[in-house]
Amino acid sequence: MDVTNRSRVVLAVCALVGMLAVTAIPTVAQEGVDLEGASADVVRLPSLFARYADSPAPTLKTDAALTYALAARSARRSDPNDPIAIPSPTAVNPALLTGWSFLEGSPTARPTGLSTGASSRLTSREPVGPLTPQEEEVWTDPWGQEKNFGLAVVEAYLGNFLPWAFNELVPGRAALKISQISPRSWANNISHGWEWDDNAFQVNHFAHPFQGNIYYNAARTNGYGYWTGVLFATVGSYNWECCGETHFMSVNDWYNTAIGGAAVGEMLYRTSSMVLDNQATGTERAWRELGAFALNPVRGFTRLVSGNIARVYENPEHPSDHVPDRLENQMSFGVRQASSERSSGEVSVNEEGEAHGFFDLQMIYGSLLDLERQKPFDFFSLATQINLRQEVGLGKLQIRGNLWHKGLSRTENSVSKLILVQDFDYENNSAFEFGGQGVSMMYLKRTERSERTSFVWNAAATWMIMGGVNSEFSSFADIAGVRERLREYDFGTGFGGRVGFQFLRDGYRWIDGSYRVQHLFTLNGSNFNGRDASHVVQMFRLRGVFPLGFKSFGAGAEYELFLRDSFFEAGDFSKIEQRVPRWQIFLTWNPTRSASN
Amino acid sequence: MTPCFLGERAQMRLSRTCAAALVAVTLLAEASNAHAQTGPHFRFGFGWQDMSGDMGEVFDGAVDAEFSIIHPVKAVRVGAGANWVSFPMDDFEESWNQIRFHLLVAYPFQLTERVRPYVEGRWTYRRMRPEDDRFFGGEEELLRDFVVSGSGFEGVLGAQYVLTRAAAIDLAVAANPFSVSPDLSDEGLGEIDSGMAWRVHLGISWFPMNGR
């Protein structure tokens, strides 16, 4: 007997025994099962279920049976002997359909030639045939992307393989020998455990989060949500730390890549969503896809592989998945100048910075106070600054995105909310370095004074889970293994708070002020050889913008003050204070303006 | 049909459990007639790599690791990957790192059986370098960057044992004659520039599309 025939015999015997076993259920055996109406999705429930339908608390353990019992309880019958009409199991519980997920929310149909597009409506450009049950079952995200775990893993893996190949094959990088990986280096790294590294501030607080964005978007652009993206970034980053280079595994890299990668990645995902238009064709479509590819290369690759890059189908229905109802982009060009004063007791060092040009972009995506869905980053704010003729071009990258929110009050003239926010901070200039990632719990309130004016203020308790700030004794940091450079900043963690105030008129943020205080207990850096070190950072900012009355242009000025009080057990200086005042004047352009909060 | 000492509810539960178990056993038995697996797959594995020939006089065998991405094209499979190993040296407390890239073409047999042999041909490109004292926690990095590189052809005989539609165990042996340039005389090891790498490999093939 060959394998196939033996299987058939086994199947037949088991089916027979199974039938006997089922008929052994006493109640069913006595009262029978009538499936006459099954073709119309109506079955006569066996009295087993009818009995449980009258029971206050069904005790059946299996999901399917419980579903039937609950359906039976809700059915209305004029006569106890009438058949009970219940929908099919998949109609009672859509999650029974393959491809549906409790985690990802309600499904939308797939955008194929035979299906319904990202929304339930069909495009006029795609004639469609009748839907088959199998095609209806495919889950897609709002952008019509089916979940594709394999492609997500490939993209995340390429996110490690390509940088490793770059380090191995490019002569200047190869000389660093960080790519000489082997099972020996992996075992060595894993057995040694976590260490801290001495990379430059922009590498640890910008480049690594940008790298994490690749892992994050490998999942995000393949049909998965924010939290799965965080998981991908965490695993992808660990994979790099243990096995992508010969350095000891760096705990600061792992954290910054995973958590920072989620913030940068979701920001870029949302930004590229605003550029994409599934309904566009021809040259416009090509430019849009290219633009989205430039913003989010992983997404471009996914759309290329999946074919969505050239398919004409529906855009997402919800504005927050495409272009939010409220969006503000404010670009500024101007001149700024900063100086720095460091003092300890009677000793002080002054450094006067040169005035230089700058460009910045501030984006307000969505409205915190009008949030409806509990989807991370349905609101985020982005602030970037590019400094000209400076050693470090990217002076600022700040991202704040919602993770959770709860409405507290809403009246005719005011609304208030409690919001859990993910914070990403990066400030790097000739005077100071400050950055890191954390979360904050924020109270936000908006009061309408008239149809044209409103006030918004907020107060937040912050936790910088891991951050960095420049410090005088960081170069003595305890770094294991090969040192590449002398680090100039400490890693730390700590709590803090911030308050903010805005005056809006006709959609313009006329006045925008904020104050923040952040304590950082040093984890690695100036606390070398067991000494304690900590920092208190304060940042004050006041910005005024006045509309010029044409083409959404405006003019403004801003004053910022950075204060750092550092406390050491090392060296001759137990406390060092740094004071960095900055001012800037600029012109603004708001191509899209519907400011709110 | 069921033990009479059990209560009505217990009998019902026992019967249903038995029925479910029998169906599961049936499905497992049916699975012995394995489905053909198509679609892209990844092959991860560890193995033992050693050398003969001139290089074999210098290097000892060591554990290696390999990764390949493979895609079916009609009757064959094409792919690319990389292999990493750190060879200890005979009579020295030093080691050499080898990074090897490969392009492959494979032909599988018995696509519907549980055991599926395959033959594979590979073009390989390897880079070998003496490793510095990184593993010993040295304070300074040695930036000496002596690299020898070269290509070769590798023949692979392997077999996959299908576990599920999405996974298979992969066992393979391979031989890879190669040459590199320059030779190792700059390192005081003589005019050695070729060898034969032998490899035994055990790993897993993962079909992320469930073999479809």
Mean pLDDT over residues A113-128, rounded? 37
pLDDT at B21: 73
- Residues A476-505 have a mean pLDDT of 90
Q: Do A3 and B33 touch (CB under 8 A)?
A: yes
Q: What average pLDDT does this structure show over A209-227?
A: 96
Q: Which two tokens stand for residue A23?
A: 């008929």
Flag whether residue B112 sits within 8 Å of chain A, measured between CB atoms.
no
pLDDT level of residue A399 (50, 70, 90 thresholds): very high
| pLDDT of B23 higher than 60 | yes
Tokens of A59: 């005790």
CB contact under 8 A, B138 and A482: yes
Burial B156-180 (b: 16+ CB within 10 A, else e): bebbbebeebbbbebbbebebebbb
- Angle, helix A297-306 to helix A208-220, in steps of 10 degrees: 20
**Separation of CA A76 from chain center:** 46
pLDDT category, B34, cuts 50, 70, 90? low
The Cα A370–Cα A367 span in angstroms is 5
**Burial (CB count <10 Å: 0-12, 13-18, 19+), residue A369:** buried
Higher pLDDT, A133 or B148: B148
pLDDT interval class at A389 (50, 70, 90):
confident
Chain A hits for B12, CB-CB cut-off 8 Å, are 25-27
A188 neighbourhood in chain B, CB within 8 Å: 135
Looking at residue A595, its pLDDT comes to 47
Q: Report pLDDT digits (tens) over A330-368.
A: 999 999 999 999 888 778 888 888 899 999 999 999 988
pLDDT at A37 over 50: no
pLDDT above 90 as % of chain B: 44
Q: Determine the distance in angstroms separating the CA of A497 from the nearest CA of chain B, rounded to an integer.
A: 40
Q: How many CA atoms lie within 13 A of B190 on its CB side?
A: 7
* Cis ω for the linkage preceding A316 (within 30 of 0): no
pLDDT on residue A113 = 36
Q: How far apart are CA A200 and CA A237, in angstroms?
A: 18
The CA distance from A515 to the nearest CA of chain B, in Å, is 43
Mean pLDDT of chain A: 79
Examine the predicted complex and report whether its ipTM is higher than 0.90. no
Q: Is A569 on the interface with B (CB under 8 A)?
A: no
Best mutation target among B22, B43, B100, B143 (most A Cβ atoms within 10 Å) is: B22
pLDDT band at A246 (very low <50, low <70, confident <90, very high): confident
| Closest alpha carbon to A180 in B61, B143, B192 | B143
A482 part of contact set with chain B, CB < 8 Å: yes
Rounded mean pLDDT of B206-211?
A: 75
Task: Measure A159 CA to nearest chain B CA, in Å.
Answer: 14
Question: A122: pLDDT confidence band, cut at 50, 70 and 90?
Answer: very low
Whether residue B41 is predicted with pLDDT greater than 60 in this model: the reply is yes
Judge residue A127's burial from the number of C-beta atoms within 10 Å of its C-beta, 0-12 exposed, 13-18 middle, 19 or more buried.
exposed
In tens, the pLDDT along B138-183 reads 444 455 667 899 999 999 999 999 998 888 999 999 999 999 999 8
Put simply, the chain A residues between 25 and 44 with a CB less than 8 A from any chain B CB are 25-27
Is the pLDDT assigned to residue A220 strictly greater than 90?
Answer: yes
Q: pTM value?
A: 0.77
> Quick one: pLDDT at residue A115?
37
| The pLDDT of residue A480 | 81
Chain B residues touching A182 at Cβ < 8 A: 62, 64-65, 84-86, 97-98
The burial of B2, by beta-carbon neighbours within 10 Å (0-12 exposed, 13-18 middle, 19 or more buried), is given as middle
Q: At what angle do helices A208-220 and A149-169 cross, to 10 degrees?
A: 150
- Residues from chain B contacting residue A484 (CB–CB below 8 Å): 141
Among A14, A25, A246, the residue with its CB nearest the CB of B134 is A246
Kindly determine whether residue B11 and residue A26, on different chains, have CB atoms separated by under 8 Å: yes
Report which DSSP code applies to A37: T
Residues 149-168 of B with CB under 8 A from A: none
Closest to B163 (Cα-Cα) out of B22, B30, B32? B32
pLDDT of A196:
93
**pLDDT higher than 50, residue A479:** yes
Q: Taking CA atoms, what residue in B is nearest to A8?
A: B30
- The 3-state DSSP class for residue A132 equals coil
Residue A541 has pLDDT above 90, yes or no: yes
pLDDT above 90 covers a percentage of chain A that reads 54
Point out the least confidently predicted range of A356-365, B19-28, B112-121, B188-197: B19-28
| pLDDT-based confidence at residue A218 (cuts at 50, 70, 90) | very high
Q: What is the pLDDT of residue B211?
A: 63
Query: Where are the alpha helices (H) located in A24-120, listed in sequence order?
Result: 26-31, 47-53, 63-74, 89-92
B209 touches chain A (CB under 8 A): yes
∠ CA A497-A503-A504, rounded to 5°: 125
Q: What is the mean pLDDT of residues A287-291?
A: 96
Contact B77, B111 (CB under 8 A): no
A587, pLDDT greater than 80:
yes
Task: Name the pLDDT band for A151 (thresholds 50, 70, 90).
Answer: confident
Which of the 8 DSSP states describes residue B196?
E
Backbone angles phi, psi at A42, to 5 degrees: -125, 125
- The residues, any chain, with a CB within 8 Å of residue A39's CB and separated by 6 or more, are none
The beta-carbon neighbor of A25 closest among B15, B69, B134 is B15
Q: What average pLDDT score do residues A421-445 get?
A: 95
Among A177-181, A398-402, A479-483, the range scoring the smallest mean pLDDT is A479-483
User: Given this model, what pLDDT does residue A593 score?
Assistant: 59
- CB environment A74-96: b (16+ within 10 A), e (fewer): eeeeeeeeebbbbeebbebbeee
- Only one residue has tokens 């069904």, namely A58
| Gap between the Cα atoms of A259 and A230, Å rounded | 7
pLDDT of res. B210: 66
Would you put residue A408 in left (φ > 0), alpha (ψ -120 to 50) or beta? alpha
The Cα A21–Cα A533 span in angstroms is 72
Residue where the block lists tokens 């509309």? A547
Which one has a higher pLDDT value, B129 or A210? Answer: A210
* Pairwise pLDDT comparison (A595 vs A342), residue with the higher score: A342
Strand partners, A460: A442, A498
Taking CA A444 as the corner, what is the angle to CA A442 and CA A446, rounded to the nearest 5 degrees?
A: 170
pLDDT of residue A493: 96
Query: How far apart, in whole angstroms, are the C-alpha atoms of residue A25 and residue A32?
Result: 10
Q: How far is A183 from chain B (nearest CA, A)?
A: 6
CA–CA separation, A237 vs A298, rounded Å? Answer: 16
Q: Is A50 helix (H, G, I), strand (E, B) or coil?
A: helix
Secondary structure tally for chain B: helices H, strands E: 2, 8
> Mean per-residue pLDDT for B180-198?
87
CB distance B209–A175 less than 8 Å? no
Q: Do A183 and B64 touch (CB under 8 A)?
A: yes
Give strand pairing partners of A459: A443, A499
A112 neighbors A129 (Cβ within 8 angstroms): no
Q: Mutate which of A4, A9, A23, A25 to test chain B, going by most B C-beta atoms within 10 A?
A: A25
Question: Is the confidence at residue A547, as pLDDT, over 70?
Answer: yes
User: Which whole-number Å values give the CA distances from A597 to A380, A421, B77, in the listed order?
Assistant: 10, 14, 55
Cβ distance B208 to A180 less than 8 Å, yes or no, reads no
Instruction: Please provide the average confidence, as pLDDT, over all residues in chain B.
Output: 83
Q: Cβ contacts of residue A169 below 8 Å, gap of 6+?
A: none
Write out the two tokens for A460.
Answer: 């937040």
For the segment B81-85, the average pLDDT, to the nearest whole number, is 95
Q: Which helix (H) or strand (E) holds A214?
A: helix A208-220
Structure-block tokens of residue A565: 């009080």
pLDDT of A557:
97
Q: What is the pLDDT at residue A4?
A: 46
Q: Is A484 on the interface with B (CB under 8 A)?
A: yes
The predicted pLDDT at position B6 comes to 62
Residue B5: pLDDT band by 50, 70, 90 thresholds? low
Half-sphere exposure of A183 (CA within 13 A, CB side): 17
Comparing C-alpha atoms, which of A146, A254, A154 is closest to residue A196?
A: A254
Both tokens assigned to A199: 């990379």
> What is the band of A169 on the pLDDT scale with cuts at 50, 70, 90?
confident
pLDDT band at A125 (very low <50, low <70, confident <90, very high): very low
**Whether the predicted pLDDT of A28 surpasses 60:** no
